[in-house]
Amino acid sequence: MATAQSYNEDQHKFWNGPDGEFWTHQQELMDRTMSNLMAPLLEFAAPESGSTVIDVGCGCGATMLELARAVGPTGRVVGLDISRPMLDRARQRLQGYENAICRLADAATADLRDIQADLLFSRFGVMFFGDPAAAFTNLRSALKRGGRVRFACWQAFQDNPWMTVPYQAVLQHIPKPEPPDPEAPGPFAFASPERVTDILKTSGFTEPAFHPLDFEMLLGGGGSLDEAADQMATIGAAGRALKEQPDDIKEAARVSVREALQGYQTAAGLRLRGGVWLVSAKV
């Protein structure tokens, strides 16, 4: 069984290698793909003018931009990420925002006590810790007394058609992979409210509340059917399943993904539901 340390080491390698570069290059496309989530997430998080916010797993800076605007010049946003290429992109995008700081740091282990934030925020950045209880204990040290936690994590895989529809199409061409450990670091590691509750309470936070949110993912960033098929054959469960496959299998699977997505096309782009938990707690 993999240890928390080995999981963390794997995450560092992943986000600082070719995969990190891939997601950096996907930044504009992914921002458009998840654009319908931004408004409800920010309304839920409610960053206050003049406050200090930590953005865990800030990636290429899309959420940092919105948080920096919300807290204003008298506030501060500290973005934490382990991916150097993604943080480099975030810094480029945040030029001119003196209230935004990008910190290359592992939120699970870095000394964060100097931040003393009012709000701990994350959009899909907290599900990848090898030892999530230890990581949240460390993050708690970065919050003021009474500090708030607001983050988004994915509901169960089967409750996310944007993932399941292309994945089922890919399975027409390859054997079904072994299912991952549901508690291993990954997109759906926080799908269980019971598990997340245990993690947060063990870490010293109050009993969390879970607010379900469905939103429309704009596959292909709202572009063409072909753009959506190309995207969904390279990311998510479908992309992982095809990663080591030969090119002919990848192309055949992409055609099947295109066929599966065709029925979801609208005049405003190709839309599929994403199921999210909005989680709230405090110190």
Q: 97: domain CATH number?
A: 3.40.50.150
CA-wise closest residue to 148 among 139, 156, 157:
139
Instruction: Give a yes or no: residue 112 inside a domain.
Output: yes
CA-wise closest residue to 188 among 280, 62, 275, 85:
275
What gap in Å lies between CA 11 and CA 2, rounded to an integer?
13
Instruction: Give a yes or no: residue 174 inside a domain.
Output: no
126 neighbors 98 (Cβ within 8 angstroms): no
**pLDDT tens per residue across all 283 residues of the chain:** 567 778 788 888 999 999 999 999 999 999 999 999 999 999 999 999 999 999 999 999 999 999 999 999 999 999 999 999 999 999 999 999 999 999 999 999 999 999 999 999 999 999 999 999 999 999 999 999 999 999 999 999 999 999 999 999 999 999 999 888 888 899 999 999 999 999 999 999 999 999 999 999 999 999 999 999 999 999 999 999 999 999 999 999 999 999 999 999 988 889 999 999 999 999 9
Q: Look at residue 4 in the predicted model and tell me its pLDDT.
A: 77
Per-residue pLDDT tens for 181-196? 888 899 999 999 999 9
Q: Look at residue 2 in the predicted model and tell me its pLDDT.
A: 66
Instruction: Give a yes or no: residue 257 inside a domain.
Output: no
Task: Count the domains in the chain.
Answer: 1
Domain extent, residue 20, equals 4-157+180-216+275-282
Q: Look at residue 1 in the predicted model and tell me its pLDDT.
A: 52
Q: Look at residue 28 in the predicted model and tell me its pLDDT.
A: 95
Instruction: Give a yes or no: residue 167 inside a domain.
Output: no
Q: Look at residue 267 in the predicted model and tell me its pLDDT.
A: 86
Q: Look at residue 255 in the predicted model and tell me its pLDDT.
A: 98
Q: Which two tokens stand for residue 257?
A: 């993904």
Instruction: Give a yes or no: residue 99 inside a domain.
Output: yes
Instruction: Give a yes or no: residue 172 inside a domain.
Output: no
Instruction: Give a yes or no: residue 49 inside a domain.
Output: yes
Instruction: Give a yes or no: residue 41 inside a domain.
Output: yes
Q: Look at residue 238 in the predicted model and tell me its pLDDT.
A: 96
Residues 6+ apart with CB under 8 A from 244: none
Residue 30 burial class via C-beta count within 10 angstroms: exposed 0-12, middle 13-18, buried 19 and up? middle
Residue 189 burial class via C-beta count within 10 angstroms: exposed 0-12, middle 13-18, buried 19 and up? buried
